[in-house]
Amino acid sequence: MITLLATGGTISMQRSAEAGGNVPALDGRGLLDLVGDLAAEVRIEDWERLPAVHRGPGAVCALRDRVAAILDGGAAGVVVTHGTDTLEEIAYLFARTLPRDAPVVLTGAMRTSSDAGWDGPRNLRDAVRVAAAPLAAGRPAMVVFAGKVFDGHDVAKLHTSDPDAFGAPHASPLGTVDDDGVWFGGPPVRRAVLRGGQLTARVALIPLLLGDDGALLDLARPHFDGVVLEAFGRGNAPPGVLPAVGRWLSERKPVVLASRCPFGEVGGEYAFEGGGGQLLSLGVLPAGPRTPALARLELALALSAGMPYGGGLG
């Protein structure tokens, strides 16, 4: 049996005249009553009914732990309905830290049941089909949206309002869902899993600005255990930030270098003052194939586990 864990988000929302906009309204049963029959037997569990941005690190880890307990109880698969604003962070946490005994699938919606063209029914039906598919076994937590299946390690929200809002800037979709079935492009790829990873470390994400002098970096340093820099292009930075970066490193607080570009990774070929190559030579760590938001989550997991960035995490 598939467990549907309902947590709120736009998929649960309806337009409220009193509130003047969309608010959470539907629990799991109310959601299924509007969606109609699903392709598998489903057990409903209502976790919360909240917007995605209302959950902090402790709450998302508690949600992850509940999914782990459901898997330990023998569920054939778990589908989590969740708000899209932080869906990529939740998917990354799940993919990094949950076992692969049974499929875990996250989905949501970009429109509410009060809107024409509500995308919730299709996404939820597709998610249940993926969770029940034999070829989904052994894969990390996945996101199913607009007929595509994404690895939770790679997915990102790329549009603020389009129903086809999700993509994988550093990878390709794992597969697709259509009227004929669930299709995967290849077998599961083995990656290390950090079981029960926590998010106790405080990690900042700071975008670099034209003419940046490092003031934001200095203001953040006393309050955070590490930082991800959202730099330009291949990881290039205004030279004014270099002293501030050095102060983070001198306190043995890791600095990870990501790019504000949605596609591609940082690199070391630029050796001018503030160039990506110079930053890497100072000991700044490349983000790898991750968006800045997911690089921040990766660093938080690593520091919370007492491990280097990326160490043992795949």
CATH number for region 203-304? 3.40.50.40
**CA nearest neighbour of 127 among 110, 100, 113, 109:** 109
Fold match between domain 2-184 and domain 203-304: yes
Residue 84 annotated as catalytic: no
- Give the closest residue to 223 by CA, choosing from 242, 206, 237, 246: 206
Domains in the chain: boundaries:
2-184, 203-304
pLDDT recorded at residue 40: 82
End-to-end CA gap in the chain: 30
Structure tokens at 144: 């199913």
The Cα diameter of the chain in Å comes to: 61
Q: How confident is the model at residue 191 (pLDDT cuts 50, 70, 90)?
A: confident
**pLDDT 10s digits, 147-190:** 999 999 999 999 999 999 999 999 999 999 999 999 999 999 88
The answer to whether the pTM exceeds 0.75 is yes
CATH class of 2-184: alpha beta
Give the pLDDT band (50/70/90) at residue 311. Answer: low
Indicate which residue of 10, 84, 86, 107 is catalytic.
10
Query: Is residue 63's pLDDT more than 90?
Result: yes
Is the CB of residue 269 less than 8 Å from the CB of residue 276? Answer: yes
Q: Using the CB atoms, write b or e for 59-89: b if 16+ within 10 Å.
A: ebbebbebbbebbeeebbbbbbbbbbbbbbb
Task: Report the alpha-carbon distance of residue 171 to residue 55 in Å, rounded.
Answer: 27
